């Protein structure tokens, strides 16, 4: 029994240090003799490096790709047939392929001085045309990013066969575009590396979501054994996908630390982030949806192009996103015919990385706008059309058109709830009345189901070099009777220091303040592929549960001996082990086992008070979280300005370990999605030169732009996971562009115009209205 176990809305144990300014982030680390690094970055998008001039007196402080020429590629290949392999150097050699690509690295006593050096390095290029768009890249006359490839297409894929034009009486067709954007964790990336020549040991503090994978990648790239590398992710100031790949800078900084035998620190600044971090979300969709006249979906035919930038990042590869998009496009809907063509196209922009929601934000946008277009076509309320086509609760588990097997839940109910929360009927009435201030009211919905916590076969199926097997966790009872839990995951806002402790608390009965979660350090924790794909609470939680159960058995056996009862009669509660009559505290039990083992029989002392548990869900399909978001907006047609009046979410992520944390994840993701919907964009000019280099140009939502989002949750337990938990980290970011832009299009319906692009900036809306007006004349 535990009052802080699963389901308890308890305050977070990690809060105190952050609120006192005592968090320890990479940039907070200073080591004796440390030098700081600054990178010389390409100012052109595409070209050959003809010369790098380094002033003679700076040669000991400036290093180029030639210095690192013995290192292999830091990129990743997919095993999918047809995948084109590329060489991704930690520092560019011969050729640069995007603005911001590293060309040299400078070290000095501090960052300012290192930047001074960087300004003295003169790089000469022989420029090639910068390919700013996929259209430019696939043009037969386009120069090749990677000379050995037949074209700039990295991989093409196909699911199913082309659908017949006469498949159904109704067909709506739309093309969609989602903008390239940045993830913008408040803390950028950063690395501090230290090489111990005596011990032949590299210690790397890096702001990462995947310390164990980074260890593997650094060891392989630098030619070390993994035991020679310890990677520590200290406090990490947000990740969202930015920090789940091997970074070129991580490799360079480690190389420098080994070469110079001095600790080296590199901290990404915001200008760097907005330049080389413009690496997410850029897709194009061409959708045909076939339906009966009653709006019942019959089939979908979609072409998806993903702009993957210049290289394939390790380990998720350049083609992961397109593969996921093709497989996930059918969403939460039931229909029988599906055909998808996907292409991963390389351009002269930073390499694509998976951002919270990964491809699902884009596909939800394209699919849900198509659903609304269909609803208008057949004259059915969009919410009603969704309900007609969503998978039925009674059909769970349901195998969809591409063979994904949904586990549990009532998708239709989420639409009903969201419609009720947003006051759909009232909105429709209000739309009939003339408005005083000239602004247009609209309402929109966005439904999704998100495959979370998916497993081995799913990852193996997309051919990436890292496939998660069983998750591990270790737990130990300390000699003073509290617990330490070691996990190879990394918590950077997910609250795992609290929620994993809640799971251990559920099993071991100890209050969470007596359970310390140790994470993010390869030297202290068992291997894990890390924190991504909304997997940590399911996989890590399952492993902590398994380890706790093993330890619990041993503790009960010892307690049985101390309390003179059967082990099976012992209950763990509030830090004590109780029989019917007596009790012993964990502290006293630990004291006997560690300090007075002679009092225990050997069969109780030869079992460690430390256990490793392993876990994976019973199905590699994972657990499907789902939600319907709904928004009402006011559009000012004079300016194209949008105000979100109301925003509601009806969601379900299975059993909630800590409802406060679940809400926080959902609201936080939703606000990132609002940024995607309305504000965030990394534009490029025709030569692929980035145009948004500071926060006056790249906008993320502030408190002022965020509505009072209302949330109503149900808990449909997953039959596949420990405690029925489903993942929740990403879901919030999936629906907002769909819900908000559907609402905008609903507001604009009288103008005969639709916004089919993110972000829906005032200027885009204004231009669309202008075009609509012009075409009427």
Q: Report, in Å, the least distance between residue 466 CB and another protein.
A: 24
Q: How many residues bind another protein (CB under 8 A)?
A: 77
| Contact call for residues 456 and 618 (beta carbons, < 8 A) | no
Span 211-270, contacts to another protein by CB under 8 A: 235-238, 240, 269-270
| Angle, CA 487 vertex, CA 486 and CA 488 arms, to 5° | 130
- Label residue 509 left, alpha or beta by phi (over 0 means left) and psi (-120 to 50 means alpha): left
Interface residue with another protein among 6, 27, 373, 738 (CB under 8 A) is 27
The residue among 186 and 596 lying less far from another protein, judged by its C-beta, is 186
DSSP 8-state class, residue 536: I
Span 487-516, contacts to another protein by CB under 8 A: 492-495
Q: Report, in Å, the least distance between residue 614 CB and another protein.
A: 28
> How far is Cα 770 from Cα 109, in angstroms, rounded to an integer?
56
Confirm or reject binding of residue 763 to another protein (CB under 8 A): yes
Interface residue with another protein among 37, 45, 671, 738 (CB under 8 A) is 671
Q: Report, in Å, the least distance between residue 28 CB and another protein.
A: 4
The residue among 374 and 674 lying less far from another protein, judged by its C-beta, is 674
Q: Report, in Å, the least distance between residue 469 CB and another protein.
A: 28
Q: Report, in Å, the least distance between residue 1 CB and another protein.
A: 24
The residue among 5 and 185 lying less far from another protein, judged by its C-beta, is 185
| Angle, CA 118 vertex, CA 112 and CA 124 arms, to 5° | 165
| Contact call for residues 523 and 212 (beta carbons, < 8 A) | no
The residue among 87 and 766 lying less far from another protein, judged by its C-beta, is 766
For residue 3, the SS3 value is coil
Span 30-69, contacts to another protein by CB under 8 A: 30
| Contact call for residues 132 and 349 (beta carbons, < 8 A) | yes
Q: Report, in Å, the least distance between residue 678 CB and another protein.
A: 8
Q: Report, in Å, the least distance between residue 115 CB and another protein.
A: 6
Confirm or reject binding of residue 22 to another protein (CB under 8 A): yes
Q: Which residues contact 696 (CB under 8 A, 6 or more apart)?
A: none
Is the C-alpha dihedral spanning 685, 157, 284, 303 positive or negative?
positive
The residue among 461 and 683 lying less far from another protein, judged by its C-beta, is 683
Span 152-191, contacts to another protein by CB under 8 A: 184-187
The piece of 17-25, 52-60, 97-105, 532-540 that touches another protein (CB under 8 A) is: 17-25
Confirm or reject binding of residue 8 to another protein (CB under 8 A): no
Residues linked to residue 307 through DSSP beta bridges, in sequence order: 345
How many CB atoms within 10 Å of residue 177?
A: 15
Interface residue with another protein among 28, 420, 569, 574 (CB under 8 A) is 28
The piece of 19-27, 48-56, 90-98, 341-349 that touches another protein (CB under 8 A) is: 19-27
Q: Report, in Å, the least distance between residue 13 CB and another protein.
A: 10
Helix axes 248-260, 211-222, angle to 10 degrees: 60
The piece of 71-79, 112-120, 451-459, 620-628 that touches another protein (CB under 8 A) is: 112-120
Structure tokens at 405: 């097997």
> How far is Cα 210 from Cα 233, in angstroms, rounded to an integer?
8
| Contact call for residues 260 and 193 (beta carbons, < 8 A) | no
The residue among 109 and 582 lying less far from another protein, judged by its C-beta, is 109
Nearest residue to 315 via CA among 164, 161, 468: 468
For residue 678, the SS3 value is helix
The residue among 451 and 666 lying less far from another protein, judged by its C-beta, is 666
> How far is Cα 22 from Cα 16, in angstroms, rounded to an integer?
8
The residue among 412 and 676 lying less far from another protein, judged by its C-beta, is 676
The residue among 13 and 52 lying less far from another protein, judged by its C-beta, is 13
The piece of 12-20, 78-86, 406-414, 584-592 that touches another protein (CB under 8 A) is: 12-20
Phi, psi of 743 (to 5 degrees): -65, -40
The residue among 50 and 695 lying less far from another protein, judged by its C-beta, is 695
The piece of 16-24, 97-105, 323-331, 417-425 that touches another protein (CB under 8 A) is: 16-24
The piece of 114-122, 129-137, 150-158, 420-428 that touches another protein (CB under 8 A) is: 114-122
Interface residue with another protein among 116, 139, 420, 484 (CB under 8 A) is 116
The residue among 21 and 150 lying less far from another protein, judged by its C-beta, is 21
The residue among 23 and 461 lying less far from another protein, judged by its C-beta, is 23
List strands edge to edge, sheet with 170-178: 153-159, 337-346, 297-309, 283-291, 170-178
Span 674-713, contacts to another protein by CB under 8 A: 678-679, 693-697, 699-706, 708-709
Span 717-756, contacts to another protein by CB under 8 A: 732
123-152 footprint of another protein as x/- string (CB under 8 A): ------------------------------
Structure tokens at 45: 């998008």
Q: Report, in Å, the least distance between residue 352 CB and another protein.
A: 20
Interface residue with another protein among 1, 3, 11, 480 (CB under 8 A) is 11
Q: Report, in Å, the least distance between residue 499 CB and another protein.
A: 12
**Strands (E) located in 637-676:** 641-652
How many CB atoms within 10 Å of residue 549?
A: 14
The residue among 480 and 643 lying less far from another protein, judged by its C-beta, is 643
What is the Cα gyration radius of the chain? 27
Q: Report, in Å, the least distance between residue 640 CB and another protein.
A: 8
Alpha carbon separation from 23 to 18, 237, 494 (Å, rounded): 5, 10, 15
Pairing of strands 610-615, 583-585: unpaired
Nearest residue to 17 via CA among 480, 484, 522, 491: 491
First to last CA, the chain: 73
> How far is Cα 309 from Cα 322, in angstroms, rounded to an integer?
13
Alpha carbon separation from 249 to 73, 253, 337, 589, 706 (Å, rounded): 13, 6, 45, 49, 34
Alpha carbon separation from 330 to 317, 324, 662 (Å, rounded): 23, 11, 26
Q: Which residues contact 194 (CB under 8 A, 6 or more apart)?
A: 31, 202, 203, 204, 257, 263, 264
Span 604-663, contacts to another protein by CB under 8 A: 638-639, 641, 660-661, 663
Confirm or reject binding of residue 669 to another protein (CB under 8 A): yes
The piece of 99-107, 515-523, 541-549, 765-773 that touches another protein (CB under 8 A) is: 765-773
Q: Report, in Å, the least distance between residue 39 CB and another protein.
A: 11
The residue among 269 and 377 lying less far from another protein, judged by its C-beta, is 269
Confirm or reject binding of residue 24 to another protein (CB under 8 A): yes
| Contact call for residues 238 and 186 (beta carbons, < 8 A) | yes
Nearest residue to 725 via CA among 3, 7, 1: 7
Span 549-608, contacts to another protein by CB under 8 A: none
Q: Report, in Å, the least distance between residue 668 CB and another protein.
A: 4
Helix axes 541-563, 496-508, angle to 10 degrees: 40
272-301 footprint of another protein as x/- string (CB under 8 A): x-----------------------------
Interface residue with another protein among 361, 672, 721, 735 (CB under 8 A) is 672
How many CB atoms within 10 Å of residue 11?
A: 12
Interface residue with another protein among 58, 67, 93, 115 (CB under 8 A) is 115
For residue 98, the SS3 value is coil
Half-sphere CA count of 63, side-chain side, radius 13 A: 22
The residue among 17 and 457 lying less far from another protein, judged by its C-beta, is 17
Structure tokens at 776: 């009427």
Interface residue with another protein among 260, 689, 762, 772 (CB under 8 A) is 762
């Amino acid at each position: 029994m535990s009052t802080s176990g699963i389901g308890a809305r308890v305050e977070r144990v990690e809060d105190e240090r952050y609120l006192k300014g005592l968090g320890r982030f990479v940039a907070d680390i200073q080591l004796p003799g440390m030098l700081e690094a600054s990178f010389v970055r390409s100012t052109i998008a595409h070209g050959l490096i003809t010369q790098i001039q380094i002033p003679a007196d700076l040669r000991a402080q400036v290093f180029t790709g030639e210095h690192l020429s013995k290192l292999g590629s830091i990129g990743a290949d997919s095993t999918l047939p047809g995948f084109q392999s590329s060489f991704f150097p930690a520092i560019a050699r011969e050729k640069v392929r995007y603005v911001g690509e590293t060309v040299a690295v400078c070290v000095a006593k501090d960052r300012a001085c290192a930047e001074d050096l960087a300004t003295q390095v003169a790089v000469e290029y022989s420029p090639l045309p910068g390919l700013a768009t996929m259209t430019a890249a696939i043009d037969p006359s386009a120069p090749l990013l990677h000379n050995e490839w037949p074209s700039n297409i990295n991989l093409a894929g196909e699911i199913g066969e082309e659908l017949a034009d006469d498949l159904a009486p109704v067909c709506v067709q739309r093309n969609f575009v989602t903008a390239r954007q940045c993830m913008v964790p408040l803390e950028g990336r950063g690395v501090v590396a230290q090489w111990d020549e005596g011990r032949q040991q590299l210690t790397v503090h890096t702001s990462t979501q995947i310390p164990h994978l980074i260890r593997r990648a650094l060891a392989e790239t630098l030619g070390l054994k993994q035991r020679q590398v310890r990677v520590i992710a200290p406090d990490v100031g947000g990740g969202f996908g930015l920090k789940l790949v091997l970074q070129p800078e991580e490799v360079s900084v480690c190389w420098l630390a080994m070469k110079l035998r001095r600790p080296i620190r590199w901290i990404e600044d915001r200008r760097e982030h907005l330049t080389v971090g413009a690496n997410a979300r850029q897709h194009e969709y061409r959708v045909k949806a076939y339906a009966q006249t009653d709006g019942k979906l019959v089939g979908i035919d979609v072409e998806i192009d993903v702009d993957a930038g210049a290289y394939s990042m390790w380990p998720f590869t350049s083609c992961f996103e397109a593969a996921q998009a093709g497989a996930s496009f059918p969403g939460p809907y039931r229909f029988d015919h599906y055909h998808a063509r996907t292409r991963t196209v390389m351009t002269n922009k930073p390499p694509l990385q998976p951002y919270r929601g990964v491809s699902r934000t884009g596909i939800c946008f394209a699919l849900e706008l198509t659903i609304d277009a269909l609803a208008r076509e057949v004259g059915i309320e969009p919410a009603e059309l969704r309900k007609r086509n969503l998978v039925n609760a009674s059909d769970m588990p349901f195998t969809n058109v591409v063979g994904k097997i949904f586990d549990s839940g009532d998708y239709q109910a989420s639409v009903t709830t969201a419609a009720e929360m947003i006051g759909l009927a009232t909105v429709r009435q209000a739309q009939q009345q003339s408005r005083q201030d000239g602004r247009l009211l609209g309402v929109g919905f966005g439904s999704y189901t998100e495959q979370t916590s998916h497993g081995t076969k799913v990852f193996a199926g997309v051919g990436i070099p890292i496939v998660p097997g069983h998750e591990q966790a270790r737990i130990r009872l300390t000699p003073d009777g509290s617990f330490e839990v070691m996990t190879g995951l990394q918590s950077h806002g997910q609250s795992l220091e609290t929620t994993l402790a809640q799971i251990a608390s559920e099993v071991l009965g100890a209050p969470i303040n007596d359970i310390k979660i140790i994470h993010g350090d390869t030297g202290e924790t068992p291997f894990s592929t890390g924190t991504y794909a909304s997997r940590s609470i399911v996989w890590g939680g399952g492993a902590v549960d398994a380890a706790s159960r093993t330890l619990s058995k041993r503790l009960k056996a010892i307690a049985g001996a101390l309390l003179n009862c059967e082990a099976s009669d012992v209950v763990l509660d509030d830090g004590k082990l109780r029989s019917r009559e007596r009790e012993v505290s964990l502290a006293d039990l630990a004291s006997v086992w560690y300090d007075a083992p002679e009092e225990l029989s050997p069969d109780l002392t030869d079992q460690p008070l430390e256990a490793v548990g392993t876990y994976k869900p019973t199905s590699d399909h994972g657990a499907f979280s789902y939600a319907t978001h709904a928004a009402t907006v006011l559009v000012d047609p004079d300016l194209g300005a949008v105000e979100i009046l109301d925003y509601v979410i009806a969601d379900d992520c299975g059993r909630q370990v800590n409802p406060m944390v679940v809400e926080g994840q959902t609201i936080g993701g939703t606000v990132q999605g609002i940024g995607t919907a309305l504000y965030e964009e990394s534009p490029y000019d025709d030569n692929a030169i980035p145009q948004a280099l500071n926060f006056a140009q790249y906008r993320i939502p502030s408190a002022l732009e965020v509505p009072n989002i209302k949330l109503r949750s149900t808990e449909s337990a997953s039959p596949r996971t420990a405690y029925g938990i489903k993942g929740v980290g990403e879901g919030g970011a999936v629906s907002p562009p769909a819900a908000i832009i559907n609402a905008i299009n609903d507001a604009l319906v009288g103008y005969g115009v639709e916004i089919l692009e993110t972000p829906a900036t005032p200027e885009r809306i204004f231009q669309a209205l202008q075009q609509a007006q012009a075409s009427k004349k």
